[in-house]
Amino acid sequence: MQNLDGVVLVGARVLRSDGRLEPASIEIEDGRIARVVEGAEATAGRIRYDLAGRIVAPGMIDTHVHGRLGHHVMSATRGSVDVIGRALLAHGTTSFVAATATVEYGRLLGAVTGLAGLVGPVKAGAELLGIHLEGPFLSPVRRGVHPLEHLVAPTPERLDALLEAAGAALRICTLAPELDGASEAIKRLVAAGVRVAAGHTDASYARTAEAVAEGVTRATHLFNGMPPVHHRKPGPVPALLADPRVRVELVADGVHVAPELVGVLLRAPDLRGRVMFVSDGTDVAGLADGPHRRWEGTPVVIRGGAATTLAGAVAGGTGTVLDGVRLAVDQGVPVEVALAAGSHVPADSLGLTDRGRIAPGQWADLLVLTETLDIETTILHGVVRREES
């Protein structure tokens, strides 16, 4: 590890906070970005690192991570979170939100309590920003692999227990807007500072639009866990895309969503700044091809990096946010737009002001990339990190 305090990075094309990808110099001090200036200008007396021919981008922020390398966040242990955080950092993700799974409600509250105590820097890995509650407030007909017997309505009593268990660590709550009590739940969660996401939902266009008016500002893995768009029954997807207040997750791994559709969305000018890449990574992410058993006991098979159940259903993600960036660029999306979808947009979706952009005062969480978007160096809080995947 190498501390870059007092160093200036020069010569690279830098993803600026306004979305431009242009030559600039970055000065680092006390783990943060002290100054960003045009071209190769830099304060005299600083050590200069020439990064000509490279791209410098903010570290990727993954707002939907269940696990990796055989570990799942539902264990709520420091050891598992550290393994996940180190694995994510190796692939360019410098901070993440731990996504839970649907289990018996009392057990869920225990996991949430445990995770809340782990929020903060991960040992030598990506930083845990908080909790994304995915389940149990989901549609029975759009539940995916979430077990039916543990799905429940978002009653005031359950929300009280959840908010007490999670405290300020609860960043995102996914729910189906058509459930009984959803309107009141959305308002209660928003009042508590939680970002509410529509997901695993069978809601109509009209009900989804109402939910956005009530406070929904995110969509959980758009298209997945939702009815397909029909020209006479449009459903939730067009309602979520139509409203500029909503930012949408996209699992851009070529499996959850067709690559061509990723390109269409990211090339649409009105959607720039609203689409964010997530991994939806599970505990089998990063494991070798072949049969595996997920943390809750579901048999899955990984083929060509894609995980499916024995029946052939997609069983969570195995890629990373930076993989989504590369896929988008392959589909003709400008590099700066694709990189922003992994950094600026997720940061904005959580209201973060200390990361996600290359600007003075932000943490120096940076990726030094080749022109083909391979990682050359990862910098976390101003320190060069080299982690094994």
The answer on whether 369 is annotated among ligand-binding residues is: no
The answer on whether 221 is annotated among ligand-binding residues is: yes
Task: Indicate the average pLDDT of the chain.
Answer: 95
Query: Which is it for the CA torsion 255, 259, 264, 270, positive or negative?
Result: positive
DSSP output for 140-198: GGG-TTS-GGG-----HHHHHHHHHHHGGGEEEEEE-TTSTTHHHHHHHHHHTTPEEEE
The pLDDT, as a whole number, for residue 313 is 84
The answer on whether 312 is annotated among ligand-binding residues is: yes
Residue 252: pLDDT over 60 = yes
What are the angstrom distances between the C-alpha of 255 and each of 280, 301, 317, 387? Answer: 12, 14, 9, 27
The pLDDT, as a whole number, for residue 144 is 83
* CA separation for the pair 163, 190 (Å, rounded): 12
The answer on whether 64 is annotated among ligand-binding residues is: no
Q: Which domains does the chain have, with CATH numbers?
A: 2-57+359-385 (2.30.40.10), 60-349 (3.20.20.140)
Residue 134: pLDDT over 50 = yes
* CA separation for the pair 378, 367 (Å, rounded): 5
pLDDT tens readout for residues 227-247: 999 999 999 999 999 999 999
* CA separation for the pair 358, 379 (Å, rounded): 12
Q: What is the average per-residue pLDDT within 191-211?
A: 98
Strands 7-10 and 47-50: parallel
Burial class from Cβ neighbours inside 10 Å (0-12, 13-18, 19+) for residue 229 reads middle
Taking the alpha carbons at both ends of the chain, their separation in whole angstroms is 16
The answer on whether 145 is annotated among ligand-binding residues is: yes
Q: Judge whether 284 and 251 are in contact, CB under 8 Å.
A: no
Helix ranges (H only) for 54-155 are 78-90, 105-116
pLDDT tens readout for residues 33-85: 999 998 766 565 578 899 999 999 999 999 999 999 999 999 999 999 999 99
**Which of 239, 207, 237, 234 shows the shortest CA–CA distance to 222?**
237
Which pTM does this prediction carry? 0.96
Q: Judge whether 347 and 355 are in contact, CB under 8 Å.
A: yes
pLDDT tens readout for residues 295-311: 888 899 999 888 988 88
The answer on whether 310 is annotated among ligand-binding residues is: yes
In 10 A of CB 123, how many CB atoms? 11
Backbone angles phi, psi at 150, to 5 degrees: -110, 0
The pLDDT, as a whole number, for residue 38 is 84
283 noted as active-site residue: no
CA 289 to chain centre: 24
Q: What is the average per-residue pLDDT within 140-151?
A: 92
> Reduced to 3 DSSP states, what percent helix, strand and coil does the chain have, rounded to the nearest 5?
30, 30, 40
Measured torsion, CA atoms of residues 91, 96, 97, 103, in degrees rounded to the nearest 10: 30
For residue 293 the two structure tokens come to 């058993």
**Percentage above 70 pLDDT, the chain:** 97
The answer on whether 79 is annotated among ligand-binding residues is: no
The pLDDT, as a whole number, for residue 389 is 46
Which one from 202, 280, 348, 365 is the annotated catalytic residue? 280
